[in-house]
Amino acid sequence: MINIRKKLEEAKNNPHIRKDCDGNIKRASVRDRLLVKEVQEMEQTLPKGCRVHFDDPNQLHKFTLSVSPEDGYWGNGRFKFEITVPEDYNIVPPDVQCLTRIWHPNITEDGEVCLSLLRQNSLDTLGWCPTRKLKDVIWGLNSLFSDLLNFDDPLNVEAAEHYERDKDSFISKVKDYVSRYARR
């Protein structure tokens, strides 16, 4: 005979089961089950100068990443990114928004980010695919300040043209933005 009280107690203690706003028991989504594993892996493999912060540790689908490059044009700055993982993750990529104003060819002043692995519909093999993980996104964002910096395929065309026109003036503006908006 099934003991309903026992089943309800088991459901309360099962990490794969959650309650909705009415208190009804629901199964954890595929996204949430993936995130439990991926967040642990991500935190263990963070690049130097990167930190992750969860406002609510029970909601792994929304967090802030701080990237603090040690050198390069954006050295000594701290740049914050909000990363939101949609319900249909890992079929679609996370949404990434730069919260820190920055002068960068691959990040607009409004915070839009151009990173090839975040492209959902990509003709090459560099876009998003379900085998990618959050750690790939973190490493990609960190690399926008070094080896993935791309002046040839900019999102912020004005910044890229500024670099091509007058590199010293570009560097000066980057340093000005770092001191005004991204101080550590």
Residues designated catalytic = 114
Instruction: Determine the Cα angle at 115 with ends 109 and 117, to 5°.
Output: 155
DSSP conformational letter for 44: H
Q: What residue has token string 């999102």?
A: 155
φ, ψ of residue 161 in degrees (nearest 5): -65, -35
Strand partners, 84: 62, 95
Calculate helix-pair angle for 134-143, 30-44, nearest 10 degrees. Answer: 50
Local structure of 97: helix, strand or coil: strand
